[in-house]
Structure 1
Amino acid sequence: MTRWVNFAWRVQALALSLIFFTNNVWASENTQHANATLVRQAFTHWQQGKGTVFDLLAPNAKWTVAGTSPVSGVYNSKAELAQVVRPITARLATPIVPTVQSIVAQNDVVVVLWNGTATALDHKPYNNTYLWHMTFKNGQIIEVTAFLDTYVLNDLMRRVKPPQ
């Protein structure tokens, strides 16, 4: 009888483990799908002039701009990041329009590869390629590492003087 009780406990433990594992996988897949959908919608709204991906940022989001551009560095809030973006947009005659190449999601991370196009104040095109690695928590972006062609950004910053 002890052997059967032992066997029954093992089967029950195995069944509970499978249920727990399956629920965690489903929750993870659901979260990554929801986060990818938020990013896709934000880029669509940005293309339509109805907002940007920055609308998804938590107030205290950490944003790292990789590379050696004038804006490369670590910014510890949405407000700090806005101060850095302002000198870039001040040099543009038109807003940056994004075109998404791909979106990949895994757990709480969404990675998006995208191209941005705009016209600078000197009427020359500004075309850059970006890769953003974004970490989500509760539907908001809490951390980003942004990669871009820093040569293109440096050229814009040196070439175009913002209006006074």
Structure 2
Amino acid sequence: MSVDAGFVRKMFAGLEQGDGAGFFAHVADDVDWTVMGTHPLAGHYTSKADFIAGTFAKLGKVLPNGAQLHVDDLIVTGDVAIVELHSEATAKNGFRFDNHYCWICHFKNGVIVRVRAYLDSVMVARLFTENPIELRERS
């Protein structure tokens, strides 16, 4: 079953309006999400809970108003959406976190089941260098 651009735009509107729960309702619990790069958010996440804990929760500790994501463009073909986004966020220390992203989202029955996400790794590393947090759970 393919998805259309209107459906994808509506889904991402939740993120644009700060409604992460609305967006994540369209993400499979066992999503396969890879954040490319070598920075504190990079990694291969095999569940929605792990992805949120490994990325959005960490960002929430250093970006008081969240990542403030906005869709710039999207291309939808069949069950794949390529979504270009940018953030307009300010970190606790005043650092402007105006990052750019490309998420390649694979859908199955209207739900995201796999994502490969690209972003500015250097900017993410600088964000956490200037706004340190405990990045790993304690054993």
How does the TM-score come out when normalised to structure 2? 0.86
Q: For 1:49 and 1:66, how far apart are their aligned partners in 2?
A: 23
* Deviation larger for 122-131 or 137-146: 122-131
Identity %: 31
CA change 1:150–1:54 in 2 (3 A) is farther
Q: For 2:61 and 2:25, how far apart are their aligned partners in 1?
A: 19
Match of 1:69 among 11, 36, 39: 39
Match of 1:111 among 62, 82, 87: 82
Stretches of structure 1 lacking an aligned partner (at least 5 in a row)? 1-27
Match of 2:72 among 80, 98, 101: 101
1:148 paired with 2:119, answer yes
Aligned positions of 1:12-161 closer than 5 A: 31-33=2-4, 36-51=5-20, 53-85=23-55, 86-161=57-132
CA change 1:63–1:100 in 2 (3 A) is same
Deviations 1:23-53 (A, max 9, x none): xxxxx6xx231xx323211222222233353
Q: Which of the pair is proportionally richer in helix?
A: 1
Deviations 1:3-29 (A, max 9, x none): xxxxxxxxxxxxxxxxxxxxxxxxx6x
Aligned length: 132
Q: Please say which structure displays the higher CA radius of gyration.
A: 1
Q: For 2:113 and 2:130, how far apart are their aligned partners in 1?
A: 33
Larger RCO of the pair (alpha carbons < 8 Å, separation 6+): 2
Deviations 1:50-101 (A, max 9, x none): 3353332100000001111122121100011122021222111211222211
Contact between 2:64 and 2:90, CA under 8 Å: does it hold in 1? yes
Q: For 1:49 and 1:71, how far apart are their aligned partners in 2?
A: 20
1:117 Cα shift? Answer: 1.4
Contact between 1:93 and 1:123, CA under 8 Å: does it hold in 2? no
Contact between 2:3 and 2:107, CA under 8 Å: does it hold in 1? no
Q: Secondary structure of 1:49's partner? A: coil
The root-mean-square deviation of aligned C-alpha atoms, in Å, is: 1.7
Q: Secondary structure of 1:134's partner? A: strand
Q: For 1:113 and 1:53, how far apart are their aligned partners in 2?
A: 16
